[in-house]
Amino acid sequence: MSTTTAHGGESPSTLETPTLDKESRELLQTISEHGGYAYVSMAAMAAAGDFRAAEAAREMSWEQLHSGPWHSVLPVWRDAYSMACLHVAKHHYGNGEFKEALRVLDMGIIMGGTLLIKDLHSAVDKVSEKSRNVKVCDGMCEDLENSDHRLVGQEFNMTKVLQLLPVKSLTSKLVVKRSALSLEKFLTDHYLSSSPVIISDCMAHWPAKMKWNNIDYLLRVAGDRTVPVEVGKNYLCAEWKQELITFSEFLQRIKSNDHSPVGPTYLAQHPLFDQISELRKDIFIPDYCFTGGGELRSLNAWFGPAGTVTPLHHDPHHNILAQVIGKKYIRLYSASLSEDLSPYPDTMLRNSSQVDLDDIDVRKFPKVADLEFVDCILEEGEMLYIPPKWWHYVRSLTPSCSVSFWWSEAESSDAY
């Protein structure tokens, strides 16, 4: 192996993996006990610096991850995949191939187990630091950087938007809006009564408010990172699929959404902030999320172009949806109307409605048109509180960046 990197400098030091070094023997023993003899052989050669063996071990563990339903995959094979990713990333890092190293490490974070997660994140930090001295994007993104540097422009045609929304939108009861709502008023007027509310003027101090509308910033901190995205109208459609792409490619798809032959690409309900720590520093957990003495269950990102739709569904937890960049239309139905909204009988989709609000089948669902709902356009800098089990439909009206905070009461902390 050459001592000169691909960028002309001296070879950087190796990636340190203290957890892997400590747990490697026991992990390999467990893998062997589950029939992974070939993997153990490849992993041993990978640890000695054999790149082909490292790639072979990664392929073997990848096949195990796809041998059946995700919930049936043995945890040891997820850890095996993480181990192989670390070995492959070490090779790329040693050669100064930082983009390739980040891609492999992200795959380990997204698809791997928890045993080696600290090693994966510390390796990402080190590789990211090195790669900041290298051009963030390749030629595919140059037009994106050199044209409009804003993710969301100022243009917004309300007349055109209204034509895209479900029938009766914004004609009945709007979600109540409160400015800088106190914790006490939130508790008494909304949390205890399960009543949705828009909270304004609570995000001005978030760095994300300024940074996330700057494409150059997003490319710099996340351009080479690999993220899971959804492609297609929504998860209930037959043509819907999932892909793993770089964040820079994702931004390119957002900018060219109107001309995309594959349909909208949506980074939906992904723990992006666990994966990319720089973005996590740009947001803050709202104090409202500690109402009820519970704890935060998940913190997810929702990035996508105009036109992305999350069909009518409900979630098990209290939810604050913070609209950082762009606008969204949201319609909500009370939990008491669940039976009238015809949930899917299938276990996996029982929290989703069979009613397509964009094209209601009035013969199949004759009552839906007369059901009471509240709706709103959620503007930049506003937060929407969605109580547990409330049904909601969401449509992005512009390119959009949102963050959802799920939390539950202490006594129901084992729910979901």
- In this structure, of 14-23, 125-134, 324-333, the range with the lowest mean pLDDT score is 125-134
- Is 80 exceeded by the pLDDT of residue 49? yes
Tokens of 392: 């909601």
pTM, full prediction:
0.85
More confident residue, 258 or 92: 92
CA distance 240 to 243: 10
pLDDT band at 259 (very low <50, low <70, confident <90, very high): low
User: Residue 12 pLDDT more than 80?
Assistant: no
Band (141; pLDDT cuts 50, 70, 90) = very low
Using CA atoms, how far residue 136 sits from 99, 210, 241, in Å, is: 9, 20, 28
Q: How much of the chain, in percent, has pLDDT values that exceed 90?
A: 75
Query: What is the domain partition of the chain in residue ranges?
Result: 18-138, 158-409
Residue in 301, 283, 151, 321 with CA at minimum distance from that of residue 205: 283
- The mean per-residue pLDDT over the stretch 260-279 comes to 87
C-alpha separations of 208 from 103, 178, 279, 285 in Å: 24, 22, 8, 13
3 state SS for 149-193: CECCCCCCCHHHHHHHCCCCCCCCEECCEEECCCHHHHHHHHHCC
Distance in angstroms (rounded) separating the CA atoms of residues 293 and 128: 37
Give the whole-angstrom CA distance, residue 216 versus residue 223: 9
Q: Which of 146-155, 168-177, 180-189, 404-413 has the lowest mean pLDDT?
A: 146-155
- What CATH topology corresponds to 158-409? Jelly Rolls (2.60.120)
pLDDT band at 260 (very low <50, low <70, confident <90, very high): low
CB burial of residue 316 (10 Å; 0-12, 13-18, 19+): middle
pLDDT at 114 over 90: yes
Average pLDDT over residues 339-363: 91
Specify which residues 98 forms β-bridges with: none
Residue 60 confidence class, pLDDT cut points 50, 70, 90: very high
The order of strands in the sheet holding 295-304 is 177-179, 197-200, 383-386, 318-325, 400-408, 295-304, 265-270, 226-231, 241-246
Can you tell me whether residue 256 is helix, strand or coil?
coil
> So what's the pLDDT on residue 11?
45
Looking at residue 349, its pLDDT comes to 86
Query: Going by C-beta distance under 8 Å and a sequence separation of 6 or more, which residues neighbour residue 103?
Result: 224, 226, 246
Q: How many residues does the chain have?
A: 416
pLDDT score of 137 more than 70: no
Q: Pairing mode, if any, of strands 391-396 and 265-270?
A: unpaired
Percentage of the chain modeled with pLDDT above 70: 90
Average pLDDT over the chain, rounded to an integer: 89
114 CB contacts (<8 Å, ≥6 apart)? 78, 79
Quick one: tokens of 317? Answer: 């937890």
pLDDT at 346: 79
Which pair of structure tokens corresponds to residue 235? 């998860």
